[in-house]
Amino acid sequence: MATTTATSAPTAANYQPEERSFELRNGLVITARHWRSSPSGSARDCRRFLAVHGFLDNASSFDLLAPLMLQKLGPEPVEIVALDLAGHGKSSHRQTEDYGLWRYVEDMDQIVEQLGWTEQGHAILGHSMGGAVSSIYAGLYQDRVKLCILLDNYGPFTRSVEDQPLHLLEHIAEKKNLVNKRLPFHPTIQSACVARTNGGNFAMELSSAQVLVPRGLRPMERIVQELGSDGESKVEVVQQGYTWSTDQILTIRSAQSLSEGYVKAFMSRITAPFLAVLASQGLGPLTEMLELRTTWLAQTKSVTKRIVPGNHSVHLDNASVVASEVCSWILAQDSAPKARL
């Protein structure tokens, strides 16, 4: 008599990402983490997501959320490509020092071309600054973006046109001082993780920092003076440790900020179903944006806003709750991002 063996459904831990790199036309190399719920080369329909992290973060921002999404959206094949934006994580630094949001959009366009997703379409998933970039991208490539999902973001922050001269003066002053700015030194990866847990609404749980931080570090040496064996003389000792891999120019304000009119021009072009998952203790200015910016989304097929408990990095601190909100919404959409691989 034939017997069958029951197989359990895959858990989030079963999904391990592949490291990817994409060389752009300007010579930049953008690195990424690529999750797949089915083997490469499958001819079945698939949901595809381009994931974009927040300011000074990296692709590991999605290390907890992405596997949960693959699990919850199965058994249909799913792919999630989480980028290290230029100047972040393991990606190249720009030689031009131009980190305007539109430059990230240009990079993403080339990566989507290399992935072969241009005609097939895909969803966009962005946290914080990555959400701001995603909203511009979704307004620019209407036919390509099937779903637009923002995590604790509702489009780019802005300053009035009248404030632009002051903003530029502040940038120039900060850039002059950058040459004398010391890179932070962390003797261990753990100490860097602890440092990342601080920061008010930008703070995160230590367990989340331990997921995110290692990808954003590089080795560093520093010379310190210590007492010699005689207890009086001083000797120089080389300490091994770590500092952030992020391009240092990103630690000062940008040369140009966006106006409300600029952001409206892009967000009003978004046609894909739109979801914003906002943290209850997240960025305060978002609550002021919601009413006005929702009116800009008149072309979208649907606009959904959901509040989840947590700080700005809730997709790391409480990934299971965010995954449930995101995936239940995705499954409810008639135009889910399905395309041939």
Which residue among the candidates 128, 134, 208, 257 is catalytic per the annotation? 128
What's the longest Cα–Cα distance across the chain? 85
Please tell me what DSSP assigns to residue 310. S
Q: How far apart are CA 82 and CA 279, in angstroms?
A: 21
Q: How far apart are CA 66 and CA 43, in angstroms?
A: 22
Are 134 and 146 spatial neighbours (Cβ–Cβ below 8 Å)? no
Q: How far is CA 94 from the centre of its chain?
A: 18
Instruction: Please provide residue 2's backbone torsions phi and psi, each rounded to the nearest 5 degrees.
Output: -70, 145
Strand partners, 90: none
Alpha-carbon distance values, 296 to 134, 139, 145, 260, 270 (Å): 15, 11, 17, 11, 9
The answer to whether the bond into 75 is cis (omega within 30° of 0) is: yes
Catalytic annotation present for 134: no
To which H or E segment does residue 223 belong? strand 217-227
Q: How far apart are CA 269 and CA 142, in angstroms?
A: 7
Annotated catalytic residues are 128
